Structure 1
Amino acid sequence: MSIQDIIKGKKEWRAHVARVKALPQDYRIVYKEIQKYLFKVGPVELTDGTGLLSGIVDLFEEGAASGKGVLEVTGNDVAAFCDDLIKDSKTYADIYQESARQKVNKAMNKDKGKTK
């Protein structure tokens, strides 16, 4: 990654944050919770830019412009809203689960060799 890429990424992130700050307060609160949720359990691709997060801001800007409350846009279960957004994406949870499975299988196979 070149210095130009880093600078471009920072500019894009600052513009994204400015869009979030321009949202009504209820939208900002829910956006921050969505962001936290996605950073914890979210898709691996989330770190590849702000595509998903920008899409959420787009949706929120449209909802706010049409006078809807944020929960009219997301539904009452914001975590379910997030899960639906990432349902077809590989998540960090998936990677961790696969790693744990592999370690258990390796340990179990190693123990089987010792008992013979």
Structure 2
Amino acid sequence: MNFWETITGSDLTKEYTAFEARAKALPPEYAAAWEEIKIHISPYAGFTGRNLMPILDGALGLLEETASDGQSVHEALGNDIKGFCAAIAGEEGAKSYRDKWRDQLNNNVARKLGRLGG
């Protein structure tokens, strides 16, 4: 990946397009689960979304593998896709915007209190 691709995000576009091509080959119930995964994982994205690419690749690989094994989507992901997304994003250390803002607010308050108490 060169500097220009990193700045413009074209590397992410190529990778995301490849994900979508792979997802089109999935059976319909798996394709529907993929769409839900994309929706529920997006709050964990950083500014560029670059942190989610390995997570999305792993989730899509899981869907492909379980589809080829003949398992149902519910056997692979369970009934709670939103919870599944939170679990896989949490394992990668990704934080939602809400978590980041909470940390920032707590740090600002602690810094202000430190000035007042000192």
TM bucket normalised to smaller? 0.7 to 0.9
Q: TM-score, normalised by structure 2?
A: 0.73
- Structure 1 gap ranges (5+): none
Counterpart in 1 of 2:104?
Answer: 99
User: Aligned letter for 2:95?
Assistant: T
User: Aligned letter for 1:97?
Assistant: R
Shift of 1:49: 5.9
Distance 2:52 2:37 in 1: 16
Shift of 1:66: 1.1
Distance 1:78 1:105, change over 3 A: same
Say what the alpha-carbon RMSD is for the aligned residues.
Answer: 2.7
Counterpart in 2 of 1:2?
Answer: 4
Secondary structure at the counterpart of residue 28 of structure 1? helix
State whether structure 2 residue 37 is matched by structure 1 residue 34: yes
Distance 2:65 2:5 in 1: 34
Distance 1:79 1:9, change over 3 A: closer
Report percent identity of matched pairs: 26
* 8 Å contact kept, 1:23–1:61: yes
Q: TM-score, normalised by structure 1?
A: 0.74
State whether structure 2 residue 74 is matched by structure 1 residue 74: no
**Residues 10-44 of structure 1, C-alpha deviation per residue, up to 9 Å, x if partnerless?**
3222111111122111111111111111112x254
* 8 Å contact kept, 1:46–1:52: no
Q: If you compute each CA radius of gyration, which structure gives the higher value, 1 or 2? A: 1
Shift of 1:103: 4.2
* 8 Å contact kept, 2:29–2:73: yes
User: Aligned letter for 1:29?
Assistant: A
* 8 Å contact kept, 1:60–1:73: yes
* 8 Å contact kept, 2:37–2:81: yes
- Structure 2 gap ranges (5+): none
Distance 1:9 1:27, change over 3 A: same
The alignment covers a number of residue pairs equal to: 111
State whether structure 2 residue 3 is matched by structure 1 residue 22: no
